[in-house]
Amino acid sequence: MKTLDWDGLRYFLEVARTQRVSAAALRLGVEHTTVARRIRQLEAQLDTLLFDKSRSSGFVLTAAGHELLAHVEQMESHLFNAREKVTGVGESLSGHIRVAATEGFGSYIITPLSMQFQQQYPDITLDVLPVPRFVSLTRREADIAITIERPLRGPYVCSRLCDYSLRLYGTREYLQNHPPIRQQDDVKFHSGISYVEELIYSDQLRYLEDVLPLSNVVFKSTSIIAQYYACLQGQALAILPCFMAAQNPHLVAILPEDIHIQRSFWMYFHEDLKRIKRMTAFCDFVKNVVEMNSGLMKGTGRALRMP
């Protein structure tokens, strides 16, 4: 263990994050053979396998690799904190951020927002994970999480990011070719799209049964994006976030004043990262853009606005 040094662990971090030796080499500014050699040396020094290697998946962390990653990322956080205290802002707005968000919000809001942020801060690289599940900050699956439930416990800096609305949507063609919906009771004569009941990862997503009888659900998916595209086929109705559906002129909100569901997004990160300036810069950017788009989040806006 005495032979381990931070410079060698940087190679491990980059391979763990990119899952490719070639991508890690590009980010580190070295040859891919150098990265591969340093990983072999580290595994030999620890006498354990840190990555499972395959052509399809690349370098995937083993259980031991995940354990080491948690410690090395803590080391990285302490080093960044130390550098920022010593150097001030000179080199602070650089480094890497991994953001996990719900699938729809991550794809339709955080992804374009992140590209705009990266343009302003070109020395900060970003990973965006739009996933239909919760991620673990404890296991360092991400640096920042944006979820529909506030974490009940943990050493996190947490804030309510915003409220958002969901409404019942259908295509114009669907509404022209099916019985009219003049009141909420008329919805029961229509087909619906929903989540796979036993695979719903949060009770916050159990809302369709309040609008449509479950017997009328003709398509189910764990993915809100899959539900969105299923709705666009014009065969059924779906409860969709307004920030997704309102941007598409082919979709129409049905009885928007009567069928209106509200949920909240929470943004949080590990308290070890609260003094890292790139983290606060990104979180502030997200908050400002989301506040600027409060109309889109609530269904009154039609397009995502950027500063």
Catalogue all structural domains in the chain, each as residue range(s) with its CATH number. 1-87 (1.10.10.10), 162-264 (3.40.190.290)
241-297: pLDDT as tens digits: 999 999 999 999 999 999 999 999 999 998 878 888 889 999 999 999 999 999 999
Query: Quick one: pLDDT at residue 89?
Result: 47
Query: Quick one: pLDDT at residue 88?
Result: 54
289 contacts 307 by C-beta, under 8 angstroms: yes
Region 33-37: what's the mean pLDDT? 92
Alpha helices per DSSP H over the chain: 6-18, 21-28, 32-46, 63-87, 103-105, 111-120, 172-177, 224-232, 242-245, 277-292, 294-298
Question: What is the phi/psi pair of residue 113, to 5°?
Answer: -65, -40
Whether the predicted pLDDT of 113 surpasses 80: yes
Residue type, 213: P
Whether the predicted pLDDT of 45 surpasses 60: yes
- Range of lowest pLDDT (4-8, 172-176, 254-258, 276-280): 4-8
Calculate the alpha carbon distances from 51 to 12, 15, 18, 56, 238 in Å. Answer: 10, 9, 12, 14, 42
Query: Quick one: pLDDT at residue 124?
Result: 92
Is the Cα dihedral 12, 13, 14, 20 positive or negative?
A: positive
How high does pLDDT run on average in the chain? 89
85 falls in which pLDDT band (50, 70, 90)?
Answer: low
User: Which pTM does this prediction carry?
Assistant: 0.74
Query: Quick one: pLDDT at residue 1?
Result: 47
157 falls in which pLDDT band (50, 70, 90)?
Answer: very high
